């Protein structure tokens, strides 16, 4: 008796019980599809967190004036504090002393209100800086153009504004080329930045950026920097970059110990670690839910196979009475289970791939390729294993016992 | 024909069935019941034997053992010269397929499967090539008079027709022994008569036929009648009206 023949018996067996076949296939299909989709949702949300962190600029470090602490100690050291300067910034850009620093941008921050006609807006971020800032802070231009080193050198009165500020000042009209008055100084808007989204409590799009020279000359009037934005070469080198810049600034400011430091460094990599840990937990949780649904699908197969065997005990008895060897019966039932799980698994993969194209709970799912193979493989293993047990029970029946079964 | 019989008698010296001291006991110790209590029986090739007895006489147990569907507690059983009382289940399935053609009271056709496929099935398990087994199945279905219903499923056939499919299935493997367990139990009198005529015809063609029944008119078509009671054979004689 050839295997081909047994496969034909198995297929005929599946076809004579269409409803049962369809329901079992559906069970496995749902299991497999849910594994793929849930893992894709978990993965998608962790990718989304990653992306928003990238947008914040995870490679970046911020150096601010002042020690790490507040209160009496901070005040006591205030007399000996040296402010951050442009020269500090230039020193940090030294590639030989700080190989892990890609670029640095000085920041002079101020508070001011911008006015256009009757519209006013107080940007939460109002910075004077230079072009290195764009990349270090992941700021890009949606419309118009950046201000250039030439604009900085000549202290031109040009500004980039964020979406929130643009809407507040200009409504729906195109802000490029228009003028606004900020802190009493008139600026020409030359660029509109792309949407950054909120970071923490701050609206990243409530933004005005002007050349640092313009800021110093017309608004703040002094040379002290609020902070220096430092971009490391990679997200993995931020720690190295941090120690390099600390060494350089310590030397320049004559700092001997951390307690007397007159600057502090803020690192966004630590934020990334926390966020990715929490998103991994989320993915694991979803994966477990999915695994349970796959297991339930597997129990479904076992159940159906058991029922099938019991329902067909008489048929098995007849087959054995007319000379079917144990192996033929076992193989037939195993092949039936395998075809069921293969079919269900394949349909589940298709459903999973289709389902992952939709946005689920506000998350764009990103398929984890391994999950497809895993779910498909597990569904087949479950089919063969859980289908094999009832099959071997059926095949071991004495024909007389099987025939007496009603 | 006479020549063939002469050859048979020389070559086929051994009987089709030889049972020695068959015992089948259910349960253990004091609570045990002997379904067969030392049955010895020899059936030669070409015989037409009826085994009779009331319910509980052990005739069904004997039939199951003769058909290699069940094993006995002790004793020896040779089928067509092969000792099968010591075989394991795997070898028994081969023996069942090649040596025995079964006919059951409840027909026992595979549901939702055509008459032709049902008749082909035992030959498929024996590994006979599809072309040959199709041809043999068609012939067998023709013999039982169902040549025009080969594509009908069991539910589309009457009881008598289903039983004839079962006979075709049993015959197609060319077994040494045709074993029928209450074959007419579920049939009306017209179908019963047709089936018994078919058995006569099969036996006349030289096939050994053993029928288990409790109906006298079925038994009286056989050439030898064995009566059982309480697990023992109480009489074993030729049926004068048929042999004569």
Nearest to B169 among A315, A322, A403 (CB): A322
Question: For the residues A2-21, what does the mean pLDDT come to?
Answer: 78
User: Which of A322, A397, A399 should we substitute to test contact with B (largest number of B Cβ atoms within 10 Å)?
Assistant: A322
Between A209 and A375, name the one with better pLDDT. Answer: A209
Contact A324 B97 (CB under 8 A): yes
| B98-131 per-position pLDDT tens digit | 889 989 888 888 888 899 999 998 998 888 888 9
Note the pLDDT of residue B44.
92
Q: Mean of the pLDDT values across residues A149-161?
A: 89
- Residue B38's closest CA among B72, B64, B14, B69? B72
Chain A residues near residue B99 by CB distance under 8 angstroms:
none
**A156 lies within 8 A of chain B by CB:** no
Question: How much is the average pLDDT of A346-373?
Answer: 82
Mutate to test the interface with A, among B89, B90, B93, B171 (most CBs of A within 10 A): B93
What pLDDT, on a 0 to 100 scale, did the predictor assign at position B10? 43
pLDDT in the model for residue B76:
92
Average pLDDT rounded to a whole number, residues A177-202: 81
Contact B67/A at CB under 8 A:
yes
pLDDT at B7 over 70: no
- As assigned by CATH, the class of the B45-69+88-243 domain is alpha beta
Please list every residue in chain A whose beta carbon sits closer than 8 Å to the beta carbon of residue B72: none
Q: Which pLDDT does position A201 carry in this prediction?
A: 54
Q: Residue B163 and residue A372: Cα distance in Å, rounded? A: 52
Inter-chain touch B113–A314, beta carbons under 8 Å: no
3-state secondary structure chain B: CHHHHHHHHHHCCCCCEEEEEEEEEECCHHHCEEEEEEEEEEECCCCEEEEECCCCCCHHHHHHHHCCCCCCCEEEEEECCEECCCCCHHHHHHHHHHHEEEECCCCCCCCCCCHHHHHHHHHHHHCCCHHHHHHHHHHHHHHCCCCCCCCCCHHHCCHHHHHHHHHHHHHHCCCCEEEEECCCCCCCHHHHHHHHHHHHHHHHCCCEEEEEECCHHHHCCCCEEEEEECCEEEEEEECHHHHC
Q: What is the pLDDT of residue A74?
A: 42
- The two three-digit tokens of residue A184, written as one number: 């009493």
Residues A398-403, mean pLDDT to the nearest whole number: 80
Residue of B nearest to A14 (CA): B112
Report the candidate in B189, B186, B196, B121 with the shortest Cα–Cα distance to residue B157: B186
In the predicted structure, residue A269 carries a pLDDT above the cut 80? no
In tens, the pLDDT along A73-122 reads 444 444 467 788 888 888 888 888 888 888 888 888 888 889 988 888 88
Average pLDDT over residues A127-144: 85
Which residue is it, tokens 């398990």? B125
- Taking an 8 Å cut-off on Cβ atoms, the answer to whether B124 and A16 are in contact is no
The H or E element containing residue A64 is: strand A60-65
- Residue B98 has a pLDDT of 87
Q: Is the pLDDT of residue B2 over 60?
A: no
Mean pLDDT over B4-21 rounds to 65
Question: Which residues of chain A lie closer than 8 angstroms to B104, CB-CB?
Answer: 403
Residue A3 touches partner B, C-beta closer than 8 Å:
no
Which of the four pLDDT bands, split at 50, 70 and 90, describes residue A189? very high
Given an 8 Å threshold on Cβ–Cβ distance, is B93 in contact with A2?
no
Q: What's the pLDDT score for residue B18?
A: 92
Higher-confidence residue of A137 and A180: namely A180
Nearest chain A CA: its distance from B239 CA (Å):
30
Percent of chain B with pLDDT over 70: 94
In A, which residues are within 8 Å of B111 by CB distance?
16, 315
Could you read off the pLDDT of A96-106 as tens digits, one per residue?
A: 888 888 888 88
Tokens of A33: 């599809």
Chain A partners within 8 Å of B96 (Cβ): 320-323, 399
What are the structural domain ranges in chain B?
45-69+88-243
Encode pLDDT of B22-77 as tens digits: 999 888 878 888 889 999 999 999 999 999 988 888 888 898 889 888 888 999 99
**Measured distance CA(A172)–CA(A191) in Å, rounded:** 15
Nearest to A315 among B70, B110, B125 (CB): B110
Per the structure block, which two tokens stand in for A157? 């009165």
Residue A14, SS3 per DSSP: helix
Residue contact A325–B169, C-beta within 8 A = no
CA distance A339 to chain B (A): 20
pLDDT for A369 equals 84
A-to-B residue pairs, Cβ atoms closer than 8 angstroms: 67
Residue B236, pLDDT above cutoff 80: yes
Please report which confidence band the pLDDT of residue B161 belongs to, taking 50, 70 and 90 as the band edges: very high
Predicted confidence (pLDDT) at residue B12 exceeds the cutoff of 60: no
- Among the partner-chain residues B69, B113, B127, the one whose CB lies closest to the CB of A321 is B69
pLDDT for residue B42? 93
**Per-residue 3-state assignment (H helix, E strand, C coil) for B45-84:** CCCEEEEECCCCCCHHHHHHHHCCCCCCCEEEEEECCEEC
């Amino acid at each position: 008796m050839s295997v081909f023949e047994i496969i034909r018996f198995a297929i005929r067996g599946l076809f004579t019980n269409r409803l049962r076949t369809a329901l079992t296939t559906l069970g496995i299909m749902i299991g497999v599809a849910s594994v793929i989709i849930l893992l894709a949702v978990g993965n998608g949300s962790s990718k989304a967190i990653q992306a928003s962190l990238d947008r914040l600029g995870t490679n970046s470090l911020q150096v601010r004036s002042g020690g790490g602490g507040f209160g009496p100690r901070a005040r006591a050291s205030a007399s000996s504090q040296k402010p951050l300067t442009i020269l500090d910034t230039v020193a940090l850009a030294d590639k030989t002393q700080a190989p892990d620093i890609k670029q640095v941008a000085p920041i002079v921050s101020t508070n001011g209100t911008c006015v256009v006609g009757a519209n006013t807006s107080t940007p939460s971020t109002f910075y004077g800086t230079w072009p290195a800032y764009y990349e270090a802070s992941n700021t890009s231009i949606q419309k118009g153009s950046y201000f250039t080193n030439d604009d900085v050198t000549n202290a031109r009165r040009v500004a980039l504004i964020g979406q929130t500020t643009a809407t507040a000042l200009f409504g729906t009209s195109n802000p490029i080329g228009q003028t606004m008055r900020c802190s009493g100084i008139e600026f020409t808007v030359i660029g509109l930045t792309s949407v950054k989204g909120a970071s923490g409590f701050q609206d990243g799009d409530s933004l005005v950026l002007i050349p640092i020279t313009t800021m110093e000359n017309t608004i703040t009037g002094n040379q002290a920097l609020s902070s220096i934005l430092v971009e490391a070469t990679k997200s993995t080198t931020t720690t190295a970059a941090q120690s390099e810049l600390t060494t350089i600034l310590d030397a320049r400011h004559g700092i001997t110990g951390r307690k007397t430091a007159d600057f502090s460094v803020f690192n966004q990599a630590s934020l990334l670690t926390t966020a990715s840990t929490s998103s991994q937990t989320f993915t694991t949780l979803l994966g477990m839910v999915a695994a349970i649904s796959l297991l339930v699908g597997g129990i479904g197969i076992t159940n159906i196979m058991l029922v099938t065997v019991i329902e067909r005990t008489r048929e098995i008895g007849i087959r054995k009475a007319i000379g079917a060897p144990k192996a033929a019966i076992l193989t037939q039932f195993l092949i039936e289970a395998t075809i069921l799980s293969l079919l269900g698994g394949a349909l589940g993969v298709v459903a999973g791939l289709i389902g992952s194209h939709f946005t689920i709970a506000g998350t764009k799912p990103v398929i984890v390729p391994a999950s497809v193979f895993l779910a498909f493989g597990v569904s087949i293993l479950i089919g063969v294993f859980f289908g094999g047990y009832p099959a071997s029970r059926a095949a071991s029946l004495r024909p007389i016992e099987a025939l007496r079964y009603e | 024909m006479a020549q063939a019989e002469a050859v048979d008698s020389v070559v086929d010296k051994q009987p089709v069935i030889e049972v020695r001291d068959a015992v089948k006991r259910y349960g253990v110790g004091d609570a045990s019941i002997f379904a067969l209590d030392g049955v010895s029986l020899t059936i030669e090739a070409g015989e037409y034997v009826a085994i009779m007895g009331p319910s509980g006489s052990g005739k069904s147990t004997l039939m199951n053992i003769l058909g290699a569907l069940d094993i006995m507690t002790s004793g020896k059983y040779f089928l067509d010269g092969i000792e099968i009382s010591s075989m394991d289940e795997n070898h028994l399935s081969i023996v069942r397929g090649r040596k025995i053609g079964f006919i059951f009271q409840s027909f026992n056709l595979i549901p939702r499967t055509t008459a032709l496929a049902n008749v082909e099935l035992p030959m498929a398990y024996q590994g006979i090539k599809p072309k040959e087994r199709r041809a043999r199945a068609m012939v067998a279905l023709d013999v039982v008079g169902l040549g025009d219903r080969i594509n009908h499923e069991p539910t589309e056939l009457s009881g008598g027709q289903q039983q004839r499919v079962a006979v075709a299935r049993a015959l197609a493997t060319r077994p040494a022994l045709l074993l029928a367990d209450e074959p007419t139990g579920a049939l009306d009198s017209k179908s019963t008569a047709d089936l018994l005529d078919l058995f006569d015809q099969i036996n006349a063609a030289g096939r050994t036929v053993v029928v288990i029944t409790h109906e006298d008119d079925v038994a009286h078509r056989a050439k030898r009648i064995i009566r059982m009671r309480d697990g023992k054979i109480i009489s074993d004689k030729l049926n004068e009206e048929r042999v004569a």
